[in-house]
Structure 1
């Protein structure tokens, strides 16, 4: 925790900062092993009875959540479906705190019906506990048969971004678009966005498509699976490896030969394997393939390795340009191509890439870095369909300001601006990126592909 956030959590500090209009960040609730997914009740609403509402009731029931419904028409909509799902639905009592507000708007047919957002959310926002969640579930606009419904669904993105900036005490708001027939693939995304695992993810929307259903052990969803993480010796990469190992994966950590000692120590702690390889080397894809063959291939590939070499374009050297592009983008394409050619992606494998908000919003002195990370986003979006033919998914996370050794070296004023210029008024932690990757890498997330999820606390930079 940075000093400003610690000061803001003291009684005197909070009062002082509020009196002068300064942000007052709170200590975000993050996942703890053996703590229930949903500790407080979830208030569920539905604009109409739909297959999505039935799926949400099933997910909440499987998660052993206490489910409440708003009084009135929204409560009447839920009771018949709750009986079918075999779950009980209660009502909110005065003074009771809620963990989340979950609203199914997939049945909305035109923009006039979006008033349900006001009717459902407004009376209950003040009841959200610290680090509360608002999650909407709708239909992908491009899949709607009627233009008026498509308009209403697209409007949800502006709403969720605005609401995310209004929530306080570590609250977040997110949107899930689920295609018709893909309701069975909602589990992992609903669980993620409702839980403390998504502590630093807000104002995001993802698309869930129909695919083969997979129901893992939710405590260890990666048990028996092989995960390769590049840049795994320290920082975000080490956090990714740790979370994936926690979830049951056999982790193969990769980093450059000069980091071999640190990498070996990190992997030994996780009972994983260390692979010292320079991913820009011509034979790097073959070395990686050789390491994966004894395991029968890879279930989850995390492209995390990356560097910055900052200069304005007028002063940029070819060496800086080439290093950043080769490590951050071109090496990933070469590795993917080789593993595909060698058929080392197992059926249902997932690829998760680490992009950056610099690839979305840009950053002065980072034309090479912004280019490479925007290229990663382009790769994810363009390769989703070709990889689907091989039953492989590909998604990306785009971190904002994350507290690492690299950001600790940034000059004080710039560092503080990076920390405060988001809706949560603080920097994220490496574990926030790792938890998001673990969600995208979960076998139950096979309905997610081509998505780019910002892990930035709703940074004010970019879209």
Structure 2
């Protein structure tokens, strides 16, 4: 991984002066998650006058946060939660929006703004739907206006969902925390009351067993390490050629290694057999393994196309069918069922030149996740996808210097993400507290659509 020397320079005393004078991008050092650190440091202002705003304020107070309804004009603010859940027309947004605008210049570095509103698809009244879509639009635009590493995201509640539902609290905590450092301009939808808040927030995956494919390096290794940090037992999977690196990751996380070609017909059965032999259960599946074989479509050959489709989507479909037929993967306890997260990509959303095969496979992942959600819900389980943007990995380190620098700056945070940013988002989605969210594709891209 290549060090981002420009970001380091921009955060030095001299660099800050020069970049400001020349009007250059000023990427901030992002506040990332540390188990021992406070959830957020400084006042959190809750805007809105609905019952939901009171419920969310009470939840924040229960986490020992400094919760305010108003602050002085010179007081620095760490976070703002703006609640719009009762808006009936676009005109109803004005009071809360303008109050939010008045606080923006008081935000601390790495501040969080979270809008809370009802699902625009949950109501047929044109005025109500317009108001809800209006919140969506203002949130996306505000994310582009945030400075000093700050982010703006939305929390969408289904039509009749009680704001006190556990997964609402889980999503709110994720978006406030350093776990969401590279997530901005995004929306988490909570559909139902499934979900359980952990007894210990630093170990939300205690007692769970997770398999991570493509775990030998890069993002996969980061996922294995962070799931282990959060309490999970890890089965690290990768191809035999990566056996030495895979063993190193498995040893580091005190887990077990399984050398496996995930395109094999029996890949799912072998993972289940390994899980049963070593742990007696399987709770979490993270489909991280993937390949690129880039070529313009005019020059695409069958091997490039077929291999990408086979690894990136067909293998996941086949393994999921096997997992969902197994009792080992269907052991809901205290309302917590199985969890699946697949790695998609912003290429699957926006497309990318020379990546028709890769984009087709990653867009296929998004479709698979959406269509499989109902099967998991019946088991109190979830399936979601994470779509990384420009992440600092061995692959991006091989890009030409100028191309890499441009890609780093083309997002609201003016920098590339780290593998742990993707891993933190996955750790949230597989946690018991995220049980009310399924079928979602959550971008981890700093609010950009640069192909990954």
- Partner residue of 1:107 out of 63, 83, 86: 86
Task: Trace 1:337-352 onto structure 2 (pairs within 5 A).
Answer: 337-346=321-330, 347=332, 348-352=337-341
CA RMSD of aligned residues (A): 1.5
Q: Which moved more, 1:342-351 or 1:325-334?
A: 342-351
Q: Distance in 2 between the 1:461 and 1:152 partners? A: 30
- Partner residue of 1:323 out of 295, 307, 326: 307
Q: Which moved more, 1:117-126 or 1:214-223?
A: 117-126
Partner of 2:389: 400
Partner of 1:38: 40
Q: Distance in 1 between the 2:218 and 2:424 partners? A: 14
User: Are the equivalent residues in 2 in contact too, given 1:422–1:456 (CA < 8 A)?
Assistant: yes
User: Are the equivalent residues in 2 in contact too, given 1:44–1:103 (CA < 8 A)?
Assistant: yes
Q: Find the residue that maps to 2:447 and give its secondary structure.
A: coil
Partner of 2:137: 158
Partner of 1:66: 66
Partner of 1:298: 282
Q: How many residues are paired up?
A: 439
Q: Which moved more, 1:385-394 or 1:184-193?
A: 385-394
Partner of 1:357: 346
TM-score, length-scaled by structure 1: 0.92
Are 2:218 and 1:235 aligned? Answer: yes
- Partner residue of 2:269 out of 262, 282, 286: 286
**Aligned-residue offset at 1:382:** 1.3
Could you list the structure 1 runs, at least 4 aligned residues long, displaced by more than 6 angstroms after superposition: none
Partner of 1:77: none
Partner of 2:429: 440
**Aligned-residue offset at 1:53:** 1.9
Are 2:413 and 1:412 aligned? Answer: no
Are 2:296 and 1:312 aligned? Answer: yes
Note closer, same or farther for the CA distance 1:132–1:404 as it changes in structure 2 (3 Å cut): same
Partner of 1:223: 206
Are 2:362 and 1:381 aligned? Answer: no
**Aligned-residue offset at 1:95:** 3.1
User: Are the equivalent residues in 2 in contact too, given 1:43–1:98 (CA < 8 A)?
Assistant: yes
Q: Distance in 1 between the 2:183 and 2:162 partners? A: 23
Partner of 1:19: 21
Q: Find the residue that maps to 2:216 and give its secondary structure.
A: coil
Q: Distance in 2 between the 1:182 and 1:383 partners? A: 25
Q: Find the residue that maps to 1:190 and give its secondary structure.
A: helix
User: Are the equivalent residues in 1 in contact too, given 2:47–2:96 (CA < 8 A)?
Assistant: no
Q: Which moved more, 1:21-30 or 1:236-245?
A: 21-30
Q: Any idea what the Cα deviations from partners look like across 1:364-415, whole Å, max 9, x if unmatched?
A: 1100000000000011111112321232211111000000111000111111
Q: Any idea what the Cα deviations from partners look like across 1:149-181, whole Å, max 9, x if unmatched?
A: 121111212111111111110010000111223
Partner of 1:266: 249
**Aligned-residue offset at 1:32:** 1.3
**Aligned-residue offset at 1:58:** 3.0
Task: Trace 1:451-462 onto structure 2 (pairs within 5 A).
Answer: 451-459=440-448, 461=450
Q: Gaps (5+ residues) in structure 1?
A: 71-91
User: Are the equivalent residues in 1 in contact too, given 2:73–2:106 (CA < 8 A)?
Assistant: no
Q: Distance in 1 between the 2:387 and 2:97 partners? A: 30
Q: Which moved more, 1:260-269 or 1:322-331?
A: 260-269
Partner of 1:85: none
User: Are the equivalent residues in 2 in contact too, given 1:229–1:251 (CA < 8 A)?
Assistant: yes
Q: Any idea what the Cα deviations from partners look like across 1:29-58, whole Å, max 9, x if unmatched?
A: 111121111221101111x322x2233123
Partner of 2:194: 212
- Partner residue of 2:179 out of 177, 191, 197: 197
Q: Find the residue that maps to 1:122 and give its secondary structure.
A: helix
Partner of 2:104: 125
Q: Distance in 1 between the 2:449 and 2:305 partners? A: 27
Q: Distance in 1 between the 2:124 and 2:161 partners? A: 15
Q: Find the residue that maps to 1:123 and give its secondary structure.
A: helix
User: Are the equivalent residues in 2 in contact too, given 1:182–1:447 (CA < 8 A)?
Assistant: no
**Aligned-residue offset at 1:94:** 4.6
TM-score, length-scaled by structure 2: 0.94
Q: Distance in 2 between the 1:460 and 1:353 partners? A: 18
